[in-house]
């Protein structure tokens, strides 16, 4: 950050009323609850120095780079992590995670990224979080829009778009753009438009969808005509190559907050069991989104617990790494102690020999 911006934030923080609040307990699993390990992380991943504008680029591009890379830290969610949990800069903005949520690839790739969006659509998404026919911001992206991006000036939004356009394309698992799945949505009308959507989904999913979701999203997933209840076809969340965001939307709902014209969606996690959430998510992706994507009840149970299989494996791997390192250290210490003992006993032997002579 520029020195000016750091000082401005400091001035703002110091002007806030003081609040006395006890420190929350550290609930991270070992070894992540060890503060000193952050020093090791910094060795591998901290890049110091300040942002230097590129003289060969326009002022808007440089402003966009500063907003995306520095102040907006879009990469904290949208860039994948390397083996030491730093941002993998070789795959900048190629898709990462925010808790369970998948923060999609937003590079200029036409299939896996947002290369197929118009400038106008991108600006509208950043400013409002809702672009009918492309995407709606749920989960952590809804928070980003609500708390932050909606307050940016139009110039800053356009600067971000100019920079995003130029982020090198990175391909992914998508076979076609996330927003392109599902047949053209018919505006809600329950009557016999069978065959308008691609797959069918299970009967259990169909029952649940009709009773819980169709009032807002339409029997054929077309949403409401003004787009305030989103269409589930031509929507990047059901069209993604991963099922997490659809499942999390059902579990947590969408808090669109005070952003102009947007409505929120209630959370269904409290009164559906894991099997029902899985049936619904699979029905939504099969009929309206990417039919290759599915989840199991066991996946949903893990999501509710706040982790994915990958994250559980990561914690276990880190713990076994620490255990291996500890065993190795112990082995080395034992070896060293043995050597010392052998040396002192041979010294003693030698001096006994001398005394005898």
* Binding residues for ligand HEC (CB under 6 A): 68, 72-74, 76-78, 98, 101, 103-104, 106, 114, 125-126, 129-130, 135-141, 144, 149, 160, 178, 212-213, 215-217, 229-230, 232, 235-238, 245-246, 249-250, 254, 256, 262-265, 268, 280, 284
Comparing every residue's Cβ against ligand HEC, the nearest one is: 138
Angle subtended at Cα 224 by Cα 223 and Cα 227, rounded to the nearest 5 degrees: 90
Distance CA 306, CA 302 (A): 7
Smallest distance, ligand HEC to C-beta of residue 77, A? 3
Nearer to ligand HEC among residue 307 and residue 319 (C-beta): 307
Half-sphere exposure (Cβ direction) of 307: Cα atoms closer than 13 Å: 10
Nearer to ligand HEC among residue 30 and residue 85 (C-beta): 85
Residues 6+ apart with CB under 8 A from 95: 78, 80, 102, 103, 104, 105, 106, 112, 170, 172
Smallest distance, ligand HEC to C-beta of residue 299, A? 16
Strand partners, 98: 101
* Closest to 262 (Cα-Cα) out of 237, 218, 230, 284: 230
Q: Virtual CA dihedral for 126, 129, 132, 133, nearest 10 degrees? A: 60
Smallest distance, ligand HEC to C-beta of residue 315, A? 21
Nearer to ligand HEC among residue 157 and residue 324 (C-beta): 157
Smallest distance, ligand HEC to C-beta of residue 120, A? 13
Q: Virtual CA dihedral for 233, 237, 238, 242, nearest 10 degrees? A: 150
Nearer to ligand HEC among residue 166 and residue 335 (C-beta): 166
Smallest distance, ligand HEC to C-beta of residue 291, A? 15
| Bond into 304 cis (ω within 30) | no
Nearer to ligand HEC among residue 296 and residue 319 (C-beta): 296
């Amino acid at each position: 950050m520029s020195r000016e911006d750091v000082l401005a934030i400091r001035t703002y923080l110091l002007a806030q009323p003081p609040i006395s609040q006890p420190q929350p307990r550290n609930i991270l699993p070992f070894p992540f609850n060890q503060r000193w390990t952050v020093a090791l992380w910094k060795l591998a991943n901290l890049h110091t120095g300040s942002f230097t504008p590129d003289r060969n680029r326009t002022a808007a591009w440089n402003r966009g780079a500063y907003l995306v890379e520095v102040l907006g830290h879009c990469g904290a969610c949208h860039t994948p992590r390397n083996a030491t949990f730093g941002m993998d800069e070789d795959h900048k903005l190629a898709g990462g995670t925010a808790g369970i949520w998948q923060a999609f690839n937003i590079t200029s790739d036409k299939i896996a990224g947002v290369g197929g969006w118009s400038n106008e659509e991108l600006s509208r998404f950043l400013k409002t979080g809702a672009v009918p026919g492309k995407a709606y911001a749920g989960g952590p992206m809804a928070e980003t829009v609500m708390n932050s991006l909606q307050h940016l000036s139009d110039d800053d939004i356009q600067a971000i778009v100019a920079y995003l356009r130029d982020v090198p394309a990175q391909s992914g698992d998508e076979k076609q753009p996330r927003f392109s799945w599902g047949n053209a949505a018919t505006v809600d009308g329950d009557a016999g438009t069978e065959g308008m959507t691609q797959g069918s989904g299970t009967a259990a999913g169909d029952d649940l969808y009709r009773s819980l979701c169709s009032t807002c999203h339409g029997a054929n997933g077309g949403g409401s005509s003004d787009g305030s209840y989103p269409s589930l076809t031509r929507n990047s969340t059901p069209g993604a190559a991963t099922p997490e965001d659809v499942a999390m939307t059902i579990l947590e709902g969408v808090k669109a907050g005070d952003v102009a014209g947007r409505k929120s969606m209630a959370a269904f996690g409290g009164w559906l069991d894991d099997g029902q959430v899985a049936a619904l998510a699979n029905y939504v992706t099969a009929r309206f989104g990417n039919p290759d994507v599915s989840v199991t009840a066991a996946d949903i149970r893990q999501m509710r617990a706040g982790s994915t299989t990958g994250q559980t494996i990561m914690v276990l791997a880190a713990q076994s790494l620490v255990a291996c390192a500890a065993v190795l250290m112990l082995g080395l210490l034992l070896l060293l102690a043995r050597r010392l003992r052998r040396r002192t006993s041979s010294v003693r032997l030698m001096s006994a020999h001398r005394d005898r002579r």
